[in-house]
Structure 1
Amino acid sequence: MGNKNKPTGLGLLFDEHAQAGRSTRFHLSRPFDIAPGAGSEFSVAGLAELVQETSGLLYEAGARPGDRVAIAKDNHWDYLLLACAASRFGALPVLIAGGLPAQTLGTVLKRADAQLFVTTADILRSADEQGVDLKSLVPRTVTVGAALPGTVALDDLRGARTPKVFTTASFEPMVATHTSGTTGVPKLVVHSVDTVLGHLGRTESLRFPIVAMKRSDTVATATPFNHMRMITWSTGTLKLEPKDALLLADARPATAERMFAQRKPTYLEALPATYIGWQELAGKRPELYGDVRLYVSTFDAIHPPTVRRFLHASKRRFPAWLQGWGQSETGPMTFRLLTRRALAAKGDRHPTTRDVGRPIPGFTGMKVVDPATMKPVPNGKPGVLLTRTDGRCIGYLGEQRRWQDKARGKWWNTGDYGLRTAAGAFRLLDREVDVIPGMSCIELEDVLADRLPQLLEAAVIGIPGQLPLPVVSTQDGTLDEAEWKRATADLPALGAPRVLPLEEIPRTSTGKVRRVELRERLLGEETYGTGRWT
């Protein structure tokens, strides 16, 4: 089944771990969309069998070695199973969030240049209503669930034989997933066996103190399953073999309440936006989070009050919060552990959460450069952040020139703006395209969230010639003027706040605020930053 010391690819991921006798039990918040009758609990061996069966379905649908198979469906862990199934016979899976706007989904699908599209009837109908015929962009379309004219239902392919395993070279494309898309249409990031399983997955598989999963853990995750993060999380989970793994297909508090009441997590990962949505539940039923020893958040900045609330919900003596900073193109670059003590001070002008820690020893290197000259700047001076890692992606589907613009030898331009402290840690300030001279927007947003308890969201945006505009959402849709003045008295000059309902603040599939769209809608298209490396 391949060299046990060297990963062979996604296609045999579950086979190899089943052969190794992994004992983790996987518990789903609802049955898989690709196997609705198979229940919501799986062994590793059962998952391997389902991947083999699904591989036959995709092959029967017409996909062949070397083809690209685009997948856009409802959020669930079977994204990974479909990716493994396609990869098993040598196809390249391209994972796309099913919730993307129709026009964006159509653009991403064109860039994917896929021979087979796996989706749902609801996504196709919704796109049709918005004037986008997704079926016309690919030769063949398979639907998970009910079929539509011009498509084949996955269920109608049951009974197909399992195709022969086809293993590609470790440096060749293995999978493509897309970025969050905060600055526009998401980029399709291509990774190989070497970059994901050989490097990024290895960072998840080492038994680092505190941050690594333990065999006694009940791990839980509530993230976008189409994202690269899910591949590295799954790789680490299979290797480290925790007792139980809970997979939440949605971020609804009711789903978390039901799942955590049955099995309390000890190791919990979710999007920052999901943690925000769970805050009321953590206040109402803190016992659900009472056993958590480690919280993990990636994808986006997280506000201090949110971290504080969940750390205090845990009954552990020393619970920790692992704040990771990374990108789809590079995987994790730095990390930092936050504790109750680190978050004790409230309303600080420079919140703890803005320091994203140090590069991962032996895995990543970091430097700060002047955006005009690309030469290194001294500690304490802001600049564009570059990283060096063996986990760097190998390209962008349909946009290879864009990839080349960001690759500088072995270094990668993250497009993020920040600085290195005298102690060697890194402080994230903003995306380069979102920069406002003399301040950090995301830092101000943390301060506002800490000082105004009724705040649900804050986004500071700006264009040249105007004061920065704070866009906020509150619990009751109002904002007290006196409280605002007190909260902002020591902050840089800001314009009058704009209060918007939470649902009117545009977000990506990973819960990030789409700042470019918000800025263009409320202020205009001009920016301080260049946007060259978005």
Structure 2
Amino acid sequence: MKPYDMGVLFDDCADHGVPTTVLLDRPFDIAPGAGLTYDMPALAGLVREASGWLAAAGAGPGDRVAIVKRNHWDYDLLACAAIRLGAVPAQLSAHLAAEALQELVKRLDSALLVTDAALLRRCRDEGVDLPSLASRVLSLDSAEEGALTLADVRGTTPPAPRRPVRDEPLVINHTSGTTGVPKLVVHSTGTIIGKLAGLEANRLPVVGVRRDDTLVNASSYAHGRTFCWTASVCCLAPRRIVVLTGADPATADPVLRSAPPTVVEALPATFVRFTPLLSRLDNPFRDVRLYISTYDAVHPPVVRGYLAASAVRRPLWMQGWGQTETGPITFRFLTRGSVASRGDRHPTTRNLGRPVPVRTRLKVVDPETFRPVARGEAGLVLVRTPARCLGYLGEERRWAAKQDGKWWNTGDLARRGRDGSVVLLDREVDSVPELSCLETEDLLEDRLPGVLECIVLGTTDGPPLPVLVTESPLPQHEWVTATSDLPRLREPVVVRWEDVPRTGTGKVRRLALLRALTGQSAPTGTGRWT
């Protein structure tokens, strides 16, 4: 079975007898009393019911429906319900600041805003009246001024499903927003389902999802990756899907123990937060044969720890690199052997592998002339892929500035090896001339085992500033030893995890962190392609 019509995805899965059981770590926000376990017919029924709610709240064909709420997989169920009506869902992370949400909801000009009372109150406390920015508002829980509640719309018979047109807008997701207000990325059925989910829905040997797998996902469900994942994983029909909505290891532990995973996909930051579970004798990752990470850089100690925690003979870590606009660009499989070396100055996880075969082309160019550079030289990465999105909603000039004919400007700096693999250096906006911030973070995390995370920030008035996330003081002699062969760095700043500003996907908002620590906010790169 291959996905196509997201409005009836779960109906199709139920009709095909997909036997997958879904286990949640907490009830859906759209069905708080319905428990923690679902099958495909139950999910199909919930989507149909939600479609009736959205229709009763005023959404119809061609309308945009903004969805912003607590993190849960029902983001995608609501999106499917909107698509069933012929509407275009826009999934916005509740992690965004009120001002950013205000700008995005304005840009969407939505017929309906689906949200929850806590978010409406938070935005109001921050001076933003979200209900005034959409034609109608539906609160999924308690009543709020200017909003309908589910009690007002329950029991509405949903209209017959409308089949999406392949090349017209299907769903809107936003970029991570590490440097400011995110872009609204518009995908069609042809791009995000046909080219991305359709490819992923193939049953590949060794690395593909198997029918006997228990697959865990711990992600930010407002983002395009999980929408694509929803389409493909349901069609692949694993035995169980386990949905984790947070990054607290104490909360995740009993869920993971009740359904030990064989495949785990999580945000890089969530993998970091779950590392205390690896040291337990009965760690819940003992049966994992495949780990999957996307969204952000992942550092060697994290990969090494999870591969060692598996009791499987040859577990794999699949590291994907891509963007909301393009989907996956490159991928690489890491093994215990490939991350065994510690603390050496070598690419390790900075090597992102090769472009996706057949579908993706890639070149590295000089940022000034846009002429290709020689293998091994650093430059700006451009890609060509048929999965590229339709555009940025409301930011056509910004969209045009990132195109070079049929090539897409990623805004990332890298060098390409003789074997065609890509070694990622930095986002151009974060780059510094002396070193790769990402590679330096790899090295420091390897050499300082007591550090949970290292962030190297470029500054405009001197050497880069290292920020160390740790719960205990760092002895000075350890820092001196760890940096003895590196370019000059400032003295490190030690912070706690909760002190670091992050996006909904756990990415560090580097400029915001720099501003909080130094008062500076100017990027070290040009930022022309953010």
Tell me the TM-score range normalised by the shorter chain.
Answer: over 0.9
Q: Which amino acid aligns with 2:14?
A: A
Structure-2 change in CA distance of 1:185 and 1:470 (3 Å): same
The residue that corresponds to 2:495 in the other structure is: 500
Q: What CA distance in whole angstroms lies between the structure 2 residues aligned with 1:303 and 1:506?
A: 19
Q: Please give the residue correspondences for 1:476-515 in structure 2 after superposition, counting only pairs within 5 Å.
A: 476=472, 478-515=473-510
The TM-score, its normalising length taken from structure 2, stands at 0.97
The residue that corresponds to 1:394 in the other structure is: 390
Q: What CA distance in whole angstroms lies between the structure 1 residues aligned with 2:410 and 2:178?
A: 14
The residue that corresponds to 1:140 in the other structure is: 136
2:512–2:521 CA contact under 8 A, matched in 1: no
The TM-score, its normalising length taken from structure 1, stands at 0.97
Matched, 1:155 2:141: no
Q: Aligned with 1:455: secondary structure?
A: coil
The residue that corresponds to 1:413 in the other structure is: 409
Matched, 1:330 2:326: yes
Matched, 1:316 2:312: yes
Structure 1: runs of 5+ lacking an equivalent: none
Q: Please give the residue correspondences for 1:335-484 in structure 2 after superposition, counting only pairs within 5 Å.
A: 335-476=331-472, 478-484=473-479
For residue 415 of structure 1, report the CA deviation from its aligned partner.
0.6
The residue that corresponds to 1:65 in the other structure is: 61
For residue 183 of structure 1, report the CA deviation from its aligned partner.
1.3
For residue 255 of structure 1, report the CA deviation from its aligned partner.
2.6
RMSD: 1.3
Q: Deviations over 1:411-453 (max 9, x none)?
A: 1111111010111100000001011013110110011011001
Q: What CA distance in whole angstroms lies between the structure 1 residues aligned with 2:182 and 2:377?
A: 30
Q: Aligned with 1:122: secondary structure?
A: helix
The residue that corresponds to 2:245 in the other structure is: 249
The residue that corresponds to 1:87 in the other structure is: 83
1:214–1:240 CA contact under 8 A, matched in 2: yes
Matched, 1:53 2:49: yes
The residue that corresponds to 1:216 in the other structure is: 212
Q: What CA distance in whole angstroms lies between the structure 2 residues aligned with 1:287 and 1:504?
A: 28
Q: Deviations over 1:277-334 (max 9, x none)?
A: 1111111255311000001111111111111111111000101111111111111111
Q: Runs (4+) of structure 1 moved beyond 4 Å? A: none
Q: Aligned with 2:284: secondary structure?
A: helix
Q: What CA distance in whole angstroms lies between the structure 2 residues aligned with 1:35 and 1:238?
A: 20
Identity of aligned residues (%): 50
For residue 150 of structure 1, report the CA deviation from its aligned partner.
1.3
Q: Deviations over 1:224-267 (max 9, x none)?
A: 01111101211221121111110112121123211111111000
Give 1:184's match in structure 2, choosing from 175, 180, 205: 180
For residue 520 of structure 1, report the CA deviation from its aligned partner.
3.5
1:304–1:351 CA contact under 8 A, matched in 2: no
Structure 2: runs of 5+ lacking an equivalent: none
Give 1:200's match in structure 2, choosing from 188, 196, 200: 196
Deviates more, 1:77-86 or 1:396-405: 396-405
1:363–1:389 CA contact under 8 A, matched in 2: yes
Q: Aligned with 1:247: secondary structure?
A: strand
2:4–2:194 CA contact under 8 A, matched in 1: no
Q: What CA distance in whole angstroms lies between the structure 1 residues aligned with 2:314 and 2:471?
A: 31
Matched, 1:225 2:218: no
Q: What CA distance in whole angstroms lies between the structure 2 residues aligned with 1:295 and 1:454?
A: 24
Q: What CA distance in whole angstroms lies between the structure 2 residues aligned with 1:69 and 1:443?
A: 41
Structure-2 change in CA distance of 1:277 and 1:286 (3 Å): farther
For residue 99 of structure 1, report the CA deviation from its aligned partner.
2.0
The residue that corresponds to 1:530 in the other structure is: 526
For residue 374 of structure 1, report the CA deviation from its aligned partner.
1.1
Q: Deviations over 1:113-144 (max 9, x none)?
A: 11100001110011111111111111111001
The residue that corresponds to 1:98 in the other structure is: 94
1:286–1:313 CA contact under 8 A, matched in 2: no
Q: Please give the residue correspondences for 1:263-282 in structure 2 after superposition, counting only pairs within 5 Å.
A: 263-282=259-278
Matched, 1:19 2:15: yes
Q: What CA distance in whole angstroms lies between the structure 1 residues aligned with 2:151 and 2:436?
A: 51
For residue 524 of structure 1, report the CA deviation from its aligned partner.
2.3
Q: Which amino acid aligns with 2:257?
A: A
